[in-house]
Structure 1
Amino acid sequence: MSATGTRIAAGASAPAAPGEPVLAISGLTVTVRGEDGARDVVRDLSFTLGRGETLCIAGESGSGKSMTSLAVMGLLPQPAAYVSAGSIMLGDTDLARLDEGRMRRIRGNRVAMIFQEPMTSLNPVLSIGRQLTEAIETHTSLSRAQAHEKAIEALRAVRISEAGTRMKQFPHELSGGMRQRVMIAMALALNPDVLIADEPTTALDVTVQGEVLELLRDLQRTRGTSIILITHDMGVVAEMADRVIVMCDGAMVEEGPVGQIFEAPATDYTRVLLAAVPRIGSGAGRQESRTPGSTGPVAAVADLQVRFDLRGGLLGRVQRRVHAVEGVSFDIRPNETLALVGESGCGKSTTAKALAGLVPYAGSIRVGGRDLASLDRDQRKAVRRDVQMVFQDPFASLDPRMRVGDLVAEPLLIHKIAGKRECRDRVATLFERVGLPVDAMERYPHEFSGGQRQRICIARALALGPKLVIADESVSALDVSVQARVLELLRELQRELGVAYLFISHDMAVVENISDRVAVMYLGQIVEMGTRDQVFSNPAHPYTRRLIEAVPMPDPARRRAHFARMDGEIPSPTRAVGDEPVRVTLRDIGGGHLVAG
């Protein structure tokens, strides 16, 4: 035991958790067979979980967090991965020694799991009710009608309104937050002893994240469920954990009460991890406030509208219309970072796609002083060189069959900017600029980590020397330390090249650290816009205040007793044909700080 009260892992067994032990893991080692032979991805891991306790397992990708949870659930992809040593004791039962038949009776009944992406965990061709009732019938002797009633009770327990109606809906008909609530209802329907939540809020908006975390707290208080929460979000750890295990490279490097882990981390790895966490008002590498230059804008958007028709019926007539973007106006100047923030469905990404020429639109978009609507095809192609995008998922953005050097060179060849020899030299320079070795050009995307793949995407975006780079949730899926390095790279490139950024994110802490100006979107319209300091120091619109208040603080001493709850679901931008939305009017409340109302 260290002087701070945390335990530095050195192969010793874990101390007894507070409360009655529910789960005890001792000396767990998980081995994976690969082309280079077998290797241990979890090594000699030991800990206990008390009844009603929340234990957070934190660490970066590849640290062994998820493999630990899969081992507990008996879901390791065998025979490629298997428990090679240790025990997983649930009461008197060693889960590591059970065959699949016996494990199936325990899985979902006594130990349940919530996965990161509910859309891939729910069957898209079965209704919500069918999936819930099947899970209940599998583990109980209830009749179909009784299982149906229990499923409705489970949906009500996770605060889903009109539960009976929702039972008939399919996963694609629900929002991301609703789907995650369905996953929680499914996991808790049988009152398990242990609930494992593997990155349950990573893909969710900050307000929906708060709803889900508050829901887990409520259910834990009422049912006494023990929770293992796996996350790389240290703000979530600070809000939820009783105890914390920090993992690195398959091993536990530190364990202790959440307050002591944050106040006095005992290892350098934990200190580095915490130092990389973006915080509103502070944080390593925080961008200093800057005043935009007086030169003309790189891009200017005026009264932008993007609408999508929804067709149906036998004749395929237009029945409803999605008002994705409605009357949006802003400009971006050289060397400036404008952040677009808001919840999923507010129109952020659609605005970016319109600016990049990827969706049809109405209104005016000017890039470098030229109106895109007035240009012919060849002229528009030339202008698009000035606007490049970096997407959220770097692996999905890169062709897995091509070497990464060829992927970065591809824009140069398409636009006939350079020959093959000159092209290779320029690509080598780009790799050095984004912090990758030149010899990495010959490798394929799967040979890189997530952070390295995002650097490759940034190099590809910079290949044409753009004036504006659109970063659409470009760091949301990255570990906190990798995220910090990518954000620092973006800042360095901006200082060197004078490039402007349209930074799209729902992570308010990241936005506060990197942006110069902020525009807040709600239901396709901008409801507040101003400098970063204006928006974060004096949020004037209720929606902006809600977004900022929902950000989990990476400080256990400031843990909230409750998250603010939404009244119902986020309204939909879908309307009947001819039903025009009410346009907001922005007024200046001082110094260029614009607010709807």
Structure 2
Amino acid sequence: MTLTLPSREQTRAEAAPLLRVRDLSVAYGRTPVVHDVSFSIPHGGSLALIGESGSGKSTIARSVLRLLPRATGRASGRVEFAGDEVLGLSEARFRPLRGRRLGFVPQDPSNALNPVRTIGSQAHEAAALSGITDAGAQRDAILDVFARVGLPDPRRVYGSYPHQLSGGMLQRVLIGLAVLPRPELLVADEPTSALDVTIQKRILDLLGDLREELGIGLLLITHDLAIAAERTDEIVVLKDGRVQEAGATREVFAAPTSPYTVQLQADAPALNPDRYRRADERGVDAWTTDTTATRIEVREVSKSFVVDGSERAAVSAVSFRVPPGTTHALVGESGSGKTTTVRLLLGLETPDTGDIVVDGKPATGRTEAELRGIRRHLQLVYQNPFTSLDPTWTVGRIVREPLDQYRVGTRAERLAKVTEALDAVGLSPQLTRRRPDALSGGQRQRVAIARALVLEPDVIVLDEPTSALDVTVQAGVFDVLRRLQRERGLTYLFVSHDLALVRQIADTVSVLKDGRVVEAGRVADVLSHPREQYTRALVDAIPTPDPRSPS
């Protein structure tokens, strides 16, 4: 047997960190956005960059991948990959590294894949980076990696277009394409922020398995301290482009030293389930004892749609009721029937069977004029504040629109109500002349809440109202919602896939699966002692980092 000794270059490369970033600063034009950031990742190691939007996380990742805008982005400092400085390389010399040795999983799979090309045709580009030249061998490698990342029926996925796959499947496709060339480092930019909690767990488990199997280093970008603490070895906390704290995950998680890290930890729902626990929970008792105090009642409601020529049930015999002044949550994976149930409640769809009662008045079988009267007291806050607000309107006009539609009061009275609604959500009246693009994500969602409040409704439906927001901004929005509920006795129907957040803010919950309620009751009972396997799977997907153990 011939023993082959490693070369001096190999030994030096393996001894050095896989990725070393030193004094990295980045500016867009004349605006500095990252200031003197340093960290390193060993071979097979993992590190999380965490912080709010605008903290510089994605900019650092783009700097490592050399994807900064050519016209405006300027980076200085040192970025060393496998012992070689790469920040100063020409694009021609760096391009062979990107995709082959440096893999990338972007945040939004719907924007990362070409919608008019099949998954297979796009996957061959990644397969070519692995050095496989034969088309048949490339196809075999693609199908193998699709199976490895847990995609059911890889052949069907190979021939599908992006719109024919779910968000979780598309994210697995992107991970498969990123690891197909067997890179040494994988950069994952918020890879699970838009996914159901169970799909999120599967994706994060998959990334962990690939690290173990292939020895891949991982640079994870996230705003969720709980995920970072559960899934990575090292943490770098960023705010306004500056490092607030850095070190081993266990140490930072167990004993944070910077006020900003302490705030992030306090705002993570998975780490603080009792943040909004109320001393007065008399309203929750109405779930089982008081049959007269009911703000919303849904009785055996079913709805089917015709899809591809066949009838499919979206919801089947769904029932629940919500006492006044409480929060009821609808939870479940995508396709569980949550959105259809909300549309039926709002009168946007008509149930095939069953009844819906709001404030003792039937909401089904009503005329459009009667439904209009019910909707005045039943308002909706949409999921995404970036798309739910008309970008051409001012904040004042957006909040005033419901008053205009229902012809409430004089012009002066409407303006006063707009000011009152903005003040209720903690926004200055000076913002009335701004347009949505001049507001932060948290401010936009507060505008959406103000619009829902301006008619003084009894019920507000919250459809994933903070899923597009950072945990700190999310906490601020729910601080407002809980205060308004206490002050005005509002009733909330909260739709979410985030069980950690549901555990924080809801009183009662209905768990939906395939259009049916599989479990329901008080949140403390259902989530602490789930009876159904499906509910247990949802609860098990909540990040539960242990500071005493390595990630």
Aligned counterpart in structure 2 of residue 361 of structure 1, from 341, 348, 351: 351
Which residue is 1:302 aligned to? Answer: 299
Does 2:16 correspond to 1:26? no
Does 2:331 correspond to 1:334? no
Which residue is 1:91 aligned to? Answer: 82
Which residue is 2:314 aligned to? Answer: 324
Deviation per residue, 1:407-449 (Å, 9 max, x gap): 0000000110122211111111111110011101111111111
The structure where helix makes up a greater share of residues is: 2
- Taking a change above 3 Å as real, the CA distance of residues 165 and 271 of structure 1, as seen in their structure-2 partners, is same
TM-score using structure 1 length: 0.86
Which residue is 2:479 aligned to? Answer: 488
> Per-residue deviation at 1:558?
6.3
CA distance in 2, matches of 1:139, 1:375: 62
Letter in 2 for 1:110: R
> Is the CA contact 1:281–1:512 (under 8 Å) kept in the aligned structure 2?
no
> Per-residue deviation at 1:331?
1.4
> Is the CA contact 1:280–1:513 (under 8 Å) kept in the aligned structure 2?
no
Deviating more after overlay: 246-255 vs 124-133: 124-133
Give the count of matched residue pairs: 533
Aligned counterpart in structure 2 of residue 56 of structure 1, from 48, 58, 62: 48
Deviation per residue, 1:357-393 (Å, 9 max, x gap): 2223222112222222332221211111111111111
CA distance in 1, matches of 2:382, 2:346: 12
CA distance in 2, matches of 1:262, 1:477: 24
CA distance in 2, matches of 1:18, 1:513: 45
Letter in 2 for 1:330: F
1:184-199 matches, cutoff 5 A: 184-199=175-190
TM-score using structure 2 length: 0.93
Which residue is 2:66 aligned to? Answer: 74
CA distance in 2, matches of 1:470, 1:154: 41
CA distance in 2, matches of 1:541, 1:440: 48
SS in structure 2 at match of 1:323: strand
Aligned counterpart in structure 2 of residue 430 of structure 1, from 417, 421, 437: 421
SS in structure 1 at match of 2:52: coil
Which residue is 2:430 aligned to? Answer: 439
Which residue is 1:132 aligned to? Answer: 123
Gaps spanning 5+ residues in structure 2: where?
1-12
Which residue is 1:11 aligned to? Answer: none
SS in structure 1 at match of 2:270: coil
> Per-residue deviation at 1:82?
2.8
> Per-residue deviation at 1:141?
5.3
Which residue is 1:513 aligned to? Answer: 504
- Taking a change above 3 Å as real, the CA distance of residues 133 and 351 of structure 1, as seen in their structure-2 partners, is same
Which residue is 2:338 aligned to? Answer: 348
- Taking a change above 3 Å as real, the CA distance of residues 386 and 220 of structure 1, as seen in their structure-2 partners, is same
Letter in 2 for 1:147: Q
Does 2:445 correspond to 1:454? yes
Which residue is 1:65 aligned to? Answer: 57
> Is the CA contact 1:60–1:248 (under 8 Å) kept in the aligned structure 2?
yes
SS in structure 1 at match of 2:87: helix
Deviating more after overlay: 99-108 vs 178-187: 99-108
> Is the CA contact 1:276–1:484 (under 8 Å) kept in the aligned structure 2?
yes
Letter in 2 for 1:471: L
> Per-residue deviation at 1:288?
4.8
CA distance in 2, matches of 1:545, 1:404: 42
Gaps spanning 5+ residues in structure 1: where?
1-16, 312-318, 561-597
CA distance in 2, matches of 1:304, 1:217: 42
> Per-residue deviation at 1:263?
1.1
SS in structure 2 at match of 1:187: helix
Which residue is 1:469 aligned to? Answer: 460
Which residue is 2:237 aligned to? Answer: 246
1:166-185 matches, cutoff 5 A: 166-185=157-176
Which residue is 1:210 aligned to? Answer: 201
SS in structure 2 at match of 1:40: strand
Aligned counterpart in structure 2 of residue 538 of structure 1, from 499, 505, 529: 529
